[in-house]
Each structure stands twice: as C-alpha cells, then as structure tokens.
Amino acid sequence: MTSTELLRPGFWSECLLVAPDAATLVASYGADTARETLRWLRVPVRMLQSLCTDGEAESVTVWLLFGQVRS
C-alpha cells in the first residue's frame, strides 16, 4: 500500500480532558465533513459538561445551542 492510499481528505477530532498534571484522551473520531465532526463533538462535550462548575457549564450550553453556527 502506498502512502497516498493511506491518506484521505477529512477531519480528525480528539476530545481531551486536561488536568493540571495530565491530559487524557476521552474520544477520537475521523469524519468526512465538518458538519459530521461537529455532530460527533456534541456528544463528548455534553458528557463532560457534567464535570463543569455552573459558570463553566453555562458557557458550554451556549456553545452547544448557538456556537456551532459560527464554527
């Protein structure tokens, strides 16, 4: 298999949980379109939102409801 056969256009997304002493990969996903990437990203973001403080969770909610239009 040649290197060009291994490459395909698309988007690679990773969701990391970052703490002061380490970062943990929560999920990763390969998508064909930006819209598909955003649709996938909403799921781990909603799951991780439960770990946020109320103030942080409010910003996440605003992004989930309205922010993707600008992304």
Closest residue by Cα to residue 71 from 39, 31, 49, 46:
39
Q: pLDDT tens digit string along 5-49?
A: 677 788 988 888 888 899 999 889 999 998 898 888 888 888 888
Confidence band for 1, pLDDT divided at 50, 70 and 90: low
51/48 Cα distance (integer angstroms): 6
**pTM (two decimals):** 0.64
Question: Is the dihedral angle over the CA atoms 37, 42, 48, 51 positive or is it negative?
Answer: positive
SS3 16: strand
Judge whether residue 68 has pLDDT over 70.
Answer: no
Phi first, then psi, for residue 39 (nearest 5°) are -60, -45
**Confidence grade of residue 69 (pLDDT, cut at 50, 70, 90):** low
